[in-house]
């Protein structure tokens, strides 16, 4: 009997230990990935040193004229990649192109498309990319609305959000993937969000669209692994960009809210070194702490947070209206 109890006790200990290790890894893997990115070159010195060596000479960045997308483009140019910038505003594309070209000796091509128009834009993109071997695709373009209950968000806004946030990452990847498979080289970076971690009342459709990006990226990672193609899911928390214009506190930045430049420098550093990251060490800690709580608790606090941000957004809109 004593032997049976000892075996049961040992089994419980082993299962418990493995469960704790798995739980901690699952919750802290973004931090582990950043540490891995720092240390890997010391242990594997024969790995390709640059992104150009790893993936190729050209990078495509969508949503490239503001915020994270613009700074991703700048950082990739700093590392020697030629760029194809895709956005909907010609004037902004020209301005960003001139700005980056004045800093770095790279080639830049820009393409004007509005991803909210859906299927029709992808043939144009494919035609304009003809002859360019895309080494890195950064699916950054996305949209958000001010925090609001679903019944008060316009149907046009919802259609645009779903078309841009989910359609762009799926269809542009589908257009570019065959050439990467043919060369057996490339990287696909999908900008998701930490909001995928739980439902977010008052940003219900947005958070759901980011969960789509998580599942899409993880599934694609396994599909293309045999073709030597790297898929990276990037899940930022709040970054001080125009997407968060509804919150003065977020726009002001700070330790918890890095600016787009700092965030992109950190995130690009992990490219080719890890398949999943929050991109910035503070966001990795935030994500880990949130994930420790059960889904119901995370959803409750998310609801409370975005109720307050909804009020802040309403006040922000009222101030703008008063100015005019």
- On the question of pLDDT at 202 being above 60, the answer is yes
Instruction: State the pLDDT confidence band at 34, using cuts at 50, 70 and 90.
Output: low
Residue of 113 and 310 predicted with greater confidence: 113
The radius of gyration computed from the CA coordinates of the chain, to the nearest angstrom, equals 21
**What is the strand order of the sheet 58-62 is part of?**
108-112, 82-87, 58-62, 134-139, 186-191, 229-234, 276-277
| 3-state helix, strand and coil shares in percent for the chain, rounded to the nearest 5 | 65, 10, 25
Query: What confidence tens digit (pLDDT) does each residue in 11-31 have?
Result: 676 766 676 666 666 666 666
Q: Which helix (H) or strand (E) segment is 160 a member of?
A: helix 155-162
CA 177 to chain centre: 18
CA 39 to chain centre: 23
Mean pLDDT, the chain, integer = 89
Query: What confidence tens digit (pLDDT) does each residue in 123-142 have?
Result: 999 999 999 999 999 999 99
Percent of the chain with pLDDT over 90: 68
pLDDT at 229: 97
For residues 202 and 247, the answer to whether their CB atoms sit within 8 Å is no
Q: Does domain 29-323 have CATH number 3.40.50.720?
A: yes
Query: What residue spans of 44-153 are helical by DSSP H?
Result: 51-55, 67-78, 90-103, 120-128
Beta-bridged to residue 85, according to DSSP, are 61, 110
Percent of the chain with pLDDT over 70: 82
For residues 206 and 165, the answer to whether their CB atoms sit within 8 Å is yes
pLDDT at 162: 97
CA 98, 137, 30 angle in degrees (round to 5)?
A: 110
Structure token digits, residue 55: 């993936």
Instruction: State the pLDDT confidence band at 312, using cuts at 50, 70 and 90.
Output: confident
Query: What confidence tens digit (pLDDT) does each residue in 245-281 have?
Result: 655 666 666 667 899 999 999 999 999 999 999 999 9
What is the C-alpha separation between 55 and 96, in angstroms, rounded? 24
pTM for this predicted structure:
0.86
What is the C-alpha separation between 134 and 259, in angstroms, rounded? 28
What is the C-alpha separation between 188 and 230, in angstroms, rounded? 6
Strand runs labelled E in 245-297: 276-277
What is the set of active-site residues?
206
Query: What confidence tens digit (pLDDT) does each residue in 280-299 have?
Result: 999 988 998 888 889 999 99
What is the C-alpha separation between 139 and 258, in angstroms, rounded? 20
């Amino acid at each position: 009997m004593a032997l049976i109890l000892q075996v049961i006790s040992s089994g419980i200990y082993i299962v418990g230990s493995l469960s704790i290790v798995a739980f901690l890894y699952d919750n802290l893997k973004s931090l582990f990935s950043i540490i891995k990115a720092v240390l890997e070159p010391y242990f594997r010195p024969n790995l390709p040193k640059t992104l150009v060596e790893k993936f190729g000479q050209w990078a495509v960045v969508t949503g490239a004229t503001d915020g994270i997308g613009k700074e991703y483009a700048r950082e990739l140019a700093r590392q020697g990649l030629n760029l194809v910038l895709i956005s909907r505003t010609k004037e902004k594309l020209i301005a960003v192109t001139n700005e980056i070209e004045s800093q770095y000796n790279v080639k830049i091509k820009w393409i004007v498309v509005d991803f909210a128009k859906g299927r029709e834009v992808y043939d144009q993109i494919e035609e304009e990319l003809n002859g360019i071997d895309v080494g890195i695709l950064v699916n950054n373009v996305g949209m958000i609305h001010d925090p609001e209950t679903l019944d008060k968000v316009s149907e046009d806004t919802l259609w645009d959000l779903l078309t841009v946030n989910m359609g762009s990452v799926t269809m542009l990847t589908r257009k570019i993937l065959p050439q990467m498979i043919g060369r057996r080289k490339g990287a696909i970076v999908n900008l998701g969000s930490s909001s995928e971690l739980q439902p977010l009342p008052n940003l219900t459709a947005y958070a759901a669209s980011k969960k789509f990006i998580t599942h899409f990226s993880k599934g694609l990672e396994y599909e293309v692994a045999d073709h030597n193609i790297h898929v990276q899911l990037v899940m930022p928390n709040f970054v001080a960009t125009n997407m968060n214009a509804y919150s003065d506190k977020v726009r002001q930045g700070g330790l918890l809210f890095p600016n787009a430049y700092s965030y992109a420098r950190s995130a690009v550093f992990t490219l080719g070194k890890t398949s999943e990251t929050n991109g910035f060490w503070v966001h990795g800690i935030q994500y880990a702490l949130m994930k420790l709580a059960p889904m119901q608790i995370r959803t409750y606090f998310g609801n409370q947070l975005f109720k307050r941000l909804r009020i802040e957004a309403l006040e922000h809109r009222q101030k703008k209206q008063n100015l005019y």
